[in-house]
């Protein structure tokens, strides 16, 4: 697994197109995703440190996990099929790890809020680079 870091979020309001880019923490490699406006807003919210009157969806999910005794360990970006990226939330509860399918934009928004690592498989990085 290769640790990834948030690189940038580019919002193009004219084309209603947002691009999220992650880069490898060490070495070469990057992943770019087209995401929707709501997903971009959720990512922007993850960077803001102002208190919210009510939890947003990603905050609610993290709070629910905590209440149920589970924690988000990390996010794994692991596949690319027909131009669509796939990812998993890796959760831990009472020492047992489980993975849950998630859209990459949601998974990354959760990882940023929970301050947990984001990883990509080496295979995915090869696929994304055309190799």
Distance CA 78, CA 62 (A): 22
Residue 12 has pLDDT above 80, yes or no: no
pLDDT band, very low/low/confident/very high, at 16 (cuts 50, 70, 90): confident
DSSP H helical ranges for the chain = 37-47, 57-67, 104-114, 122-128
Distance CA 22, CA 43 (A): 13
Which of 50 and 19 is assigned the larger pLDDT? 19
Q: Which pLDDT score is estimated for 68?
A: 92
Q: 111 with 88: CB under 8 angstroms?
A: no
Q: Which pLDDT score is estimated for 98?
A: 96
Q: What is the mean pLDDT of the chain?
A: 89
- What domains sit in the chain, N to C, each tagged with a CATH number? 2-128 (3.10.690.10)
Q: What is the pLDDT of residues 75-92, one digit of tens each?
A: 999 999 998 999 999 999
Q: What is the pLDDT of residues 31-55, one digit of tens each?
A: 998 888 888 888 887 777 666 777 7
Residue 96 has pLDDT above 90, yes or no: yes
Q: Which pLDDT score is estimated for 28?
A: 79
- Residue 32, classed as helix, strand or coil, is strand
Residue 15 has pLDDT above 70, yes or no: no
């Amino acid at each position: 697994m290769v640790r990834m870091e948030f690189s940038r979020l580019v919002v193009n309001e004219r084309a209603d197109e947002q691009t999220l880019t992650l880069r490898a923490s060490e070495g070469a490699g990057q992943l770019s995703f087209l995401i929707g406006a709501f997903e971009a807003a959720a990512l922007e919210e993850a960077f803001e440190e102002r208190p919210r009157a009510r939890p947003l969806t990603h905050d609610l999910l993290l709070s629910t996990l905590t209440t149920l005794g589970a924690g988000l360990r990390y996010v794994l970006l692991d596949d690319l099929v027909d131009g669509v990226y796939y990812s998993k939330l890796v959760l831990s509860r009472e020492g047992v790890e489980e993975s849950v399918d998630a859209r990459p934009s949601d998974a990354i928004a959760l990882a940023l809020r929970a301050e947990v690592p984001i990883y990509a498989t080496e295979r995915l990085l090869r696929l994304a680079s055309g190799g």
